[in-house]
Amino acid sequence: MDWQLLGLSFVTVFLAEIGDKSQIAAIALSGSSKSPKAVFLGTTAALILASFIGVILGEGIASFLPARLLKALAAIGFALLALRILMGLDDD
The string of pLDDT tens digits covering residues 8-34 is 999 988 888 887 888 888 889 988 888
Burial (CB < 10 A; 0-12, 13-18, 19+), residue 30, is: middle
Residue 68: the pLDDT is: 93
For 32-87, how does the pLDDT look when each residue is reduced to its tens digit (9 = 90+)? 888 989 999 999 999 999 999 989 998 898 899 998 998 899 899 989 988 988 88
Residue 80: the pLDDT is: 93
Sign, CA torsion 4/85/51/76: negative
C-alpha angle with apex 75: 45 to 89, nearest 5 degrees?
75
Residues 6+ apart with CB under 8 A from 62: 70
Instruction: Please give the backbone phi and psi of residue 15, each rounded to the nearest 5 degrees, phi first.
Output: -65, -35
The amino acid at residue 62 is A
